[in-house]
Structure 1
Amino acid sequence: MPPSLVMISLRISLFALVSACSSALAQQYTNSIAAVVDGVPIASSEVEETIKAQEQVIQFQYRNDPDRIRKEIILLRQNAIETLIDREILLAEFKKIGGTLKAQYVDEDINGIIRESFKGDRDAFVDELTKSGMTMLKFRDLRQKMVIMNVMRARNAGDHPPATPREVQDYYDKNVDKWREGDQIKISTITIPKFTGEPGSTPAKQQKLAQELRTKVVQGADFAATAKATSQDSHAENGGSWDWMYKTDLMPAIANAAMDLKTGGISPVLDLETNYIIVSCDAKKLGNAPELEKLRPEIEKMINQEKSKANLDKWMESVRKKHVIKRFQPSTTPPAPPPSAP
């Protein structure tokens, strides 16, 4: 990764830590309260900063897939307040059991961050922390809370039986597509731009046009003829037809839509950055997935993680009932994602 992208990623990570972990910040805000857990307020602005920080991570991670960004942000906003509520519950439960945390554990956590993200350069770490508006003392306090939360999660994940051969086989069969490499797709597209520059044209009208064209094709209109007449991309004169492409060479939103279709199937209208696109899956050549035995250790680990999460979710559900939780506002409606990076 180029140095500039490394620093962007580190700043995003630090901002996420600052925003997501600090219960003390809630008392510094003068705006409305989103929730209260056992008398500890969670400010609306803290929720928004948590969302903003994680939105940056999502936008960086999925910058070439606007549709995925939109879905992830919707999910993030639905869960933001509940995540902060659970944080306060975990800290309260740690205090209730008389838990203490040795300073060396926090030291090890911070040293691990410096070692892994800053190649052991403590000065670079402190400099980046300063740019994020944080003192070392405050950052240490945040990391202490994070370590406590991880301790409580591990403590209550519980024991569970190891993954069985049947569970491993079922997991492999269900997820084999994500391990397969070398998939090739032949597609055709109809592309309708959101912005035409013509008087009276709007993205909403263009979306309606795309929906109407899809309906015609699904009802039997010839895809190639429709593409030649209406599509506005470089493939239009060929009836929208593309050459064979490796899945990994296509925009993820288009590739995933095509792979989800049966041969001859027509996708929903895809809402991309500047266009509405209809995809026809003309043909597929599936690649090969590694044999089960090669993936067995990885699959067993994933299954065990799922079982631990199920145990933790069950414990969290029961412990929430022991705390006084008041919610004052729902998550806000997500904005449209920004343009993807070139």
Structure 2
Amino acid sequence: MMKFSTLTLCAGLMVASYGLHAQLANPQASQKNQWDLKFTNGIAAQVEDKIITLEELRKEVTPLIPQIRMNSRTRFEFDKNIAIVTREILQNLVDRILIIRDFYDKGAHIPDTYLQKEYDDYITKEFNGDRSAFLDFLRIQGKSEMDFRDQLKDDIIVSYMRMQSLPSQTAVSPKKIEEYYQKNKSRYFEEEGVDLSMIMLVPIAGENPDLLQQTANEIIQKLEAGEDFAELAKTYSQDDQRDEGGDWGWINRADLIPQLADQAFALDKGGYSQPIQVEDYIYILKVKDKREAGIKELEKVRGDIEQEITAQLARQAQQRWIERLRKNAYIKYFLKEAGGMRSSPGTMQMKLGANGADS
């Protein structure tokens, strides 16, 4: 079933707007703010008869400011990141218009009953059905209910059309899986590891250390008598995995402190250790399974490879579809940060100036 979705960006492009420049730049340096108020009515791009304004673009970029604080270490890096994200967002806005136009060109429509259901479901999911809270949220966003409904409809259309562009699900041939595996073997390297369970004993403040050792010895005696390690972990262990029977899953050597790693990787499959004292704590380890370092066998990754090939085919199909929409549309980019983005044949790319014209 189609669900409400919002515009998303690649994680690597999650960087933000010019608002951070002042924090990254030399205090003595001066540079024109590209989001200056006099440009808020400027044009970033034209798609057929639709206009994308600088204000629309600014609203998309501004919320990403906190991320750029973490991702930009220098002024140069910031400038590079802001150019990347601006192009990415602008292209998404252009593509969104093209996708919606393609939907209507095909004579499609969204039933009012379906739109109303999605509208009600959104309020239920995000606001626990509290309509007053939802309306307060819209007021803060500076939107009306009609604005929200229009956005919701567009989101549904974009989601639906992207799904329609996907190729039909067909089985990936064993030959393609084998070829992919051979070309990408390095991706399936795994380090030496152990499937580890652990009992950790923590001293109580003021408790005689000998009592903790006695508890450890009691656990060892029960293990030697054949009692289940997982049940003993649930009873005695004092770590986060106690309720899971002390199960920590597959662990690489580097994941453990040296005192524990040496003991764990020296154990045979199914074996358990004697009590290991590390400062004030005592550990008892069990190795349920072991693996050597190396490339995973094809059969172990066949399912993952099939999913990856299917995802690649889907991305390629969507890209061909989007490229076709762009090719057949009139698109003009005005924003200089879109310098690498091509306008439609016969249109002219312009730099940003007052109201979108050359300065």
What interval of TM-score do these two structures reach, taking the shorter chain for normalisation?
0.3 to 0.5
Using the size of structure 2 for normalisation, the TM-score is: 0.45
**Higher RCO by CA contacts (8 Å cutoff, separation 6 or greater):** 1
- Larger gyration radius, structure 1 or structure 2: 2
